[in-house]
Chains A and B, each alone.
Chain A
Amino acid sequence: MEPLVVGAVAYTPNVVPIWEGIRDYYRTAPVEMDFVLFSNYGRQVDALLSGTIDIAWNTNLAWVRTVLQSGGRARALAMRDTDLTFRSHLVCRAGAGLHGPGDLKGRRLALGSRDSAQAAILPLHYLRREGITDGDVQLLRIDTDLGKHGDTGGSELDAIRAVLDGDADAAAIGITTWESIGRNELMPDALEMFWTSPAYCHCNFTALDTLDTARADAWTTHLLAMDWNNPEHRRILELEGLTRWVRPQLDGYTDLFQAVKEQEIAPRWL
């Protein structure tokens, strides 16, 4: 039987060994898989909708766009445990005197790429929920990795640089970027985090309802069987940034659906 074809976005060359490892893991599975790499999520969602690929490793925005474009015929198969508790942070220079979203009024906020849920779309959504409306904050948008939904982290690093350089008073970043720079523990006098968003979901494996259910379930069951205590599995899990694969919790996308609607973000990226 033909292997299932999984799509993923090559936001760094380092994704290649991850997907080669996952593909090799499926060589002993009831259903095998191969993978295809895309340069951006727009083309990947197109490929899923057209049937070029069977499953897409989607960001949360790519999931939302797939649902919207397919008329709700999308199905999430699995996600990382770390995708369940993703958050965004607002950071500023240490001692800047910012203590919450309300302190941003009249100040400059650096956002990551406009298609990044964690560094642009959801921070704006949550700020509006906190009563910060358009015009209250001067936005500095840094669109350095458009198409990759913020996966590179590059726009978030640039947003931090803008704060350090005095071009912005605060920056919106995802928790992975905050962790990668050592939070505020390596240089406590440089940056501080003054607000954390509610938790939301990030990536998931997305299929359409046209994918044979038995094959999709067999593929998912094998994925969920990856074991942190198995050294070969662990190598892959560490590279992909999780300790175990879990079933999706779709409630974690509710805020993003609302944000896409209120910010009038197009269902399809051109």
Chain B
Amino acid sequence: MVVEVKNLVKRYKELIALDHFNMEVEEGEILGLLGPNGCGKTTAINCILSLLNYDKGEIRVFGEKMTPNSYDIKREIGLVPQEVSVFENLTVIENTDYFCGLYIDDKNKRKQYVEEAIEFVGLKDYTKFYPKKLSGGLKRRLNIACGIAHKPKLIFLDEPTVAVDVQSRNFILNGIEKLNDEGSTIIYTTHYLEEAERLCKRIIIMDKGRGLVSGTNEELKSMISTSEKIVVGFTEIEDETVQNMKNILHVMDIEKAGEDYIIKFENGFNNLANLMNFIEENQLVYTKLQSQLPTLNDVFLELTGKELRD
């Protein structure tokens, strides 16, 4: 196990930021911490890195207890903090070299690593630029380069795509997949569910400092009662017919959303075919018919009663 967190409790006076939080990260995986802003993702990372005191619990990294003096463990870790954390008056190459040099003493090896990191994040044409001259997306890439240049075994990426353009976001996500392919274990925090779905082999959904559920993408989706949603729009439909629709096999609930109806189905197959039969039998004319598989947002909604982006 690369990281083990047991019963972690962190309080800020009256506020409980982490409430008996548990986490296990296996070697080579990308673990996603998914949850809304303020749910405790960054606090969890800062506690694991021993930057923050905590009230209760146990943290082990690479099998050893993590303390502020665990310099050998820190040598194997890379951090990409949520805020861009670079020297404003050092160039791209100087920043990357400075932070890489805190881990790598050998000059030639460091030079090679720095060049690779800059190429990896696509900043080769900007090596002499100061951060203030870079766009938000490019700054984020520099932030990543400074955190991964020393080729760490374990990388913490704390919301690395916040406030970046689509192009940079895709670049960053591709890069993270590549880092994982090269053998790095990654802990990735985000409140963007698409990112978690795309990248993470395992996901912990967090809210109010607690880990609500954890599992693979499929496992999480299978935990909720809704397995399929079909959105359908009719030219005309009577209330009685809508009530009759509830008798279709596996239908759990029907919601009106504007002019459309969202029909939620329990686990089961042939939901769309069954609905089509009903439409034919009742001679209904539909303007829209769209099948949606559940998303992590549905999982979050069912677990907490609120949208992930609330």
- A, B from the same assembly: no
Q: Chain B interface (Cβ within 8 Å of chain A)? A: none
